[in-house]
Amino acid sequence: MNKYQRETLKAPVPSIENAYILCSASWRDKTEEDRGVHPHISFLYDAGDIAAEWGTEHGPIFVWHKCSRDAPDAREHYFYDFVNDKSFNFSQLAVDRAGLPAAFEAGHWAHIFAELKEWAQR
């Protein structure tokens, strides 16, 4: 388990196979005046060696490619041990097109994960 994995809660969604809600935090500001915590929540669908993730605050849908430590461009990751994601393998337009923010607000979890599953299986 790497540093990023230790700092991320990976909660499986009971009713949807291969679906996870990820939760982590960072400091909002590193000054002495503001030591508040900024929460990060995202939805991730794991298709085995590829995952698609949507961060709820401002995030596009990202696609992560699982790899070994010695693969070209490998870097540690908070879900897989290592990824070597491809450049431009994300879409902000897909978030709006699929209505993910509205689905999140309404609690339509199956809709969110169905969209992520499509991205992960492309």
Q: Per residue in 86-97, pLDDT tens?
A: 766 788 889 999
- As a whole-number percent, the residues of the chain with pLDDT over 70 amount to 91
Expressed as residue numbers, the domain containing 30 is: 3-120
State mean pLDDT over 13-18.
Answer: 96
Position 82 pLDDT exceeds 90: yes
Structure confidence at residue 17 as a pLDDT band (50, 70, 90): very high
Residues 82, 68: contact at Cβ < 8 Å? yes
Tokens of 107: 């609690």
Cα(35)–Cα(28) distance, rounded to whole angstroms? Answer: 7
By the 10 Å C-beta count (0-12 exposed, 13-18 middle, 19+ buried), 77 is classed as buried
pTM > 0.85: yes
When divided into structural domains, the chain yields a total of 1
Structure confidence at residue 77 as a pLDDT band (50, 70, 90): very high
- Residue 28, pLDDT score: 62
